[in-house]
Amino acid sequence: MINTLLGIGRDDKTGRGETIGQALDRYRGIGPGFDLLRIGLALYIFYGHALWVAGGHSSVAGVAAIAGAAAADAASTAAAPIADGFSGWTRPFHVAAVPLFFALSGFLVIASALRLRATSTFLAFRFLRIFPALVVETALCAVVLGALLTTLPVVSYYSDPLFWRYLGNMVGWISFDLPGVFAGNPVKHIVNANLWTLPSEFDCYFLTALLMISGVIYDRRLFTAVYACAAIALVTASLATGFAITAGILSPIAITFYFFTGVLLFHWRHHLPAHWLLFVAAAALSYALLLSKWTAFIAPIPVTYCMAFMGVVAVPRLPLISRGDYSYGIYLYGFPICQALVAAFPGTFVGHRYLLLTTGLVITCAFAAFSWHMIEQHALALKRRLPARFFPKRSKPAPAPERVSGESAESAPLTA
């Protein structure tokens, strides 16, 4: 009965409950929960950042230290609240946000890879999804925001090597600092902490491209064997030596592993029951595992199952969300906007976490809408204008298109 209330049906042939794959097929590949899940995760990460930026302890504090932020001040500022942000009964909720994004992206992006079956086309589509919005956001932060809020003379600001280094974010060379910007904020110097996930995102795409070239990604059993070998090696190394184990936010290697766990579960979607009892069990197991930092490479499968189940639940399609994918814009603009509000109006926002949360959210959503409607949507439209060489002809008929969440299979960014 609960499955019925959640919009999950039964297999007409066997009389049993649907699998994740059957539910996706019934929705014509468009899982109704994925868009809501993606926007929810983006908002949750924004919430954590806003509390941190205002001067309070946050679920996502410590991100600069994990990302290897250039400034010592940034790392020391971030390190202080790690213990509070990642201990106790709330730890699983704080730790899971970014990995869930990566698992979700792996689940969606593999659908695009399996449909396209052309590495150059796959990489071109990922480029169009990620870089146009990133370039605009980086330029706005460096050229406009930084110039307005720096403590340096404008000429000195634009000639400083940190300014030019920050522009490297446009091509994935990550830098967190701009000269003289946010030096007086509670979270010092960091312009956009969210960019720490970009290298892992690019690693995921690079590895996916290699798996496409080798053909491993197309063979479910071969991919599963490779995944199992990697999982055994990572679990063994992490438990024996502490490899890639972090006290707070999961390491780049761990979140990359979540991406490929999403790929794994997509391959086996037609064998995964979509049942609320299994979801409850997976959620309970996920919670228990995420209480410890030592389970970074053990928890991904139950966590990713929870993501897949939530994706096929029949949630209502909210008009605002159906108009565009605003999650990437929220992820890109949320942190610098909150930092800018604190720098411009310290008396108003420092220590007033929920005032910063509400004000920053309104402005961030406006920028996210701008990013989607003016940048991202038009960039995605360029996919149809790619040269013919990006769509090689096949001697054998291509398999039936596999879509998850419609355009989301190609549009959902990891950096979310």
pLDDT greater at residue 386 or residue 159: 159
> Does 291 have pLDDT greater than 90?
yes
Residue 190 one-letter amino acid? I
Quote the number of domains for the chain. 1
10: pLDDT strictly greater than 60:
yes
Count of residues making up the chain: 416
Model's pTM, two decimal places? 0.88
pLDDT band at 317 (very low <50, low <70, confident <90, very high): confident
Tens digits of residue pLDDT in 200-229: 999 999 999 999 999 999 999 999 999 999
- Segment 171-182 shows an average pLDDT of 94
- 232: in domain: yes
The phi-psi region of residue 71 (left if phi > 0; otherwise alpha if psi is between -120 and 50; otherwise beta) is: beta
- Cα–Cα distance, 370 to 337 (Å, whole number): 14
Write out pLDDT tens, residues 102-114.
999 999 999 989 9
Query: Which structural domain range is residue 361 located in?
Result: 38-119+181-387
Q: Contact 235/241 with Cβ under 8 angstroms?
A: no
Asked whether residue 57 carries a pLDDT value surpassing 70, the answer given is no
Whether residue 407 lies inside any domain: the answer is: no
At residue 60, does pLDDT exceed 60? no
| pLDDT of the residue at 261 | 98
Do the domain assignments include residue 138? no
pLDDT in tens, 348-406: 999 999 999 999 999 999 999 999 999 999 999 999 888 877 776 654 444 443 443 33
| Rounded distance between C-alpha atoms, residue 276 and residue 307, angstroms | 12
Q: Is residue 304 a part of any domain in this protein? A: yes
Can you give the pLDDT at residue 28?
A: 79
Q: Identify the pLDDT of residue 304.
A: 98
pLDDT digits (tens, 9 = 90+) for 229-248: 999 999 999 999 999 999 88
Amino acid at 132: P
Name residue, tokens 């064998």.
271
Which percentage of the chain shows pLDDT scores above 70? 84
Q: What gap in Å lies between CA 301 and CA 106, rounded to an integer? A: 13
Q: Which pair of structure tokens corresponds to residue 415?
A: 């950096």
Of 25-39, 54-68, 199-213, the range with the highest mean pLDDT is 199-213
pLDDT, greater one: 11 or 209: 209
Residue 373 maps to a domain:
yes
Residue 139 forms part of a structural domain: no
Please check whether residue 288 lies inside any domain of the structure.
yes
- The tokens 């929960």 sit on which residue? 33
Q: What gap in Å lies between CA 41 and CA 95, rounded to an integer?
A: 12
- For residue 247, the model assigns a pLDDT of 86
Inside any domain, residue 318: yes
Reduced to 3 states, what is the DSSP secondary structure of residue 215?
A: coil
Tens digit of pLDDT for each residue in 32-46?
899 899 999 999 999
pLDDT reported for residue 357: 97
Q: What is the pLDDT of residue 58?
A: 46
Phi, psi of 404 (to 5 degrees): -130, 125
Average pLDDT over residues 134-156: 97
